[in-house]
Amino acid sequence: MSASNTDFVLAVEGLTVSFDGFKAVNDLSFYVDKDEIRVIVGPNGAGKTTVLDLICGRTKSTEGSIKFRNKELTKMKEHQIVRAGVGRKFQTPSIYGDLTVFENLEISFPRGRSVFGALAFKRDAEVLNRVNEIADMIFLSELLESRADLLSHGQKQWLEIGMLLIQDPELLMLDEPVAGMSVSERRQTAELLRRITKDRSVIVIEHDMQFVAEIADKVTVLHQGKILAEGSAEEVKADPKVIEVYLGH
């Protein structure tokens, strides 16, 4: 099945993945606009993470199409999808603990990505400026020389977000970015998200409905691999089906 061309940044159509017969994502279709902030909510096991896995190529779909700027992603390798402009943050902070914050950001800087490019890579002014700029944005300027595994949980989450920002992706996907954060870290993260979501499309998976209402242009509620409801945060919150399976408890 192949989707037609659209103006959307991301067009997902008829997406299905089955793990040994169990359909974690089942005939899913949704569209994300340019500069839109889309939040995906849903109970645990609804298939939210799996949807991101499918888009970024970590899991291969069984059926359906994923088009990013009208380019079919389902046949592409992970690194090609990244290079096309899709960045993805994992649910648990995925950073390089043995390297410094500086090195974590530097590795993510989109240059010298081939073997010989990496050997010849020079830490020049452009890299330094960009790393400093991003470090500032993610509240880690003071910690550039510390080993990343010494950071707090919240700081690690920020670092990973920074590692994506330095690549300036056109579509940014964040899997529960504020989970496990303290109240003040949450506030800072909300502010960070508002800043970084300018000029790019973002898909965020989030549970905190108050937080969702604050940032979302549009909310998609997922349940058992299917869309249960879609609309503004207000509409979704008022939807009886959503209240029953998700917000009720």
Ligand X SMILES: Nc1ncnc2c1ncn2[C@@H]1O[C@H](COP(=O)(O)OP(=O)(O)O)[C@@H](O)[C@H]1O
Judged by beta carbon distances under 5 to 8 A according to partner kind, the member of other proteins, ligand X, Mg ion, none in contact with residue 184 is: none
Site string (83-112) toward other proteins, x via CB under 8 A? x---xx-x---xxxxxxx-xxx-xxx-x-x
Q: Which is nearer to other proteins, 77 or 249 (CB)?
A: 77
Rounded to a whole number of angstroms, the minimum distance from the CB of residue 58 to other proteins is 7
3 state SS of 113: coil
In the DSSP assignment, the letter for residue 72 is E
3 state SS of 35: coil
Q: Compute the distance between CA of residue 31 and CA of residue 4 in angstroms, rounded to an integer.
A: 12
Residue 141 binds to other proteins (criterion: CB under 8 A): no
Site string (144-163) toward ligand X, x via CB under 6 A? --------------------
Question: Nearest CA to 93 among 151, 42, 139?
Answer: 151
Q: Compute the distance between CA of residue 195 and CA of residue 187 in angstroms, rounded to an integer.
A: 13
Closest residue to Mg ion in the complex (CB): 49
Q: Which of 3, 9, 24, 56 binds other proteins (CB under 8 A)?
A: 56
| DSSP states of 212-245 | HHHH-SEEEEEETTEEEEEE-HHHHHH-HHHIII
Estimate to the nearest angstrom the gap between the alpha carbon of 108 and the chain centroid. 15
Judged by beta carbon distances under 5 to 8 A according to partner kind, the member of Mg ion, other proteins, ligand X, none in contact with residue 50 is: ligand X
Q: Which of 49, 61, 104, 220 binds Mg ion (CB under 5 A)?
A: 49
Q: Count CB neighbours of 102 within 10 A.
A: 20
List the interface residues with ligand X, window 28-57 (CB under 6 A).
42, 44-50
Q: Which of 1, 4, 21, 119 binds other proteins (CB under 8 A)?
A: 119
Tokens standing for residue 99? 């390297």
Rounded to a whole number of angstroms, the minimum distance from the CB of residue 175 to Mg ion is 6
Residue 150 binds to other proteins (criterion: CB under 8 A): no
Spatial CB neighbours of 219, under 8 Å, sequence gap ≥ 6:
38, 39, 40, 41, 212, 229, 230, 231, 232, 233, 236
Sites of contact with other proteins (CB under 8 A): 56, 58, 77-79, 82-83, 87-88, 90, 94-100, 102-104, 106-108, 110, 112-115, 118-121, 123-125, 128, 145, 160, 163, 167
Sites of contact with ligand X (CB under 6 A): 19, 24, 42, 44-50
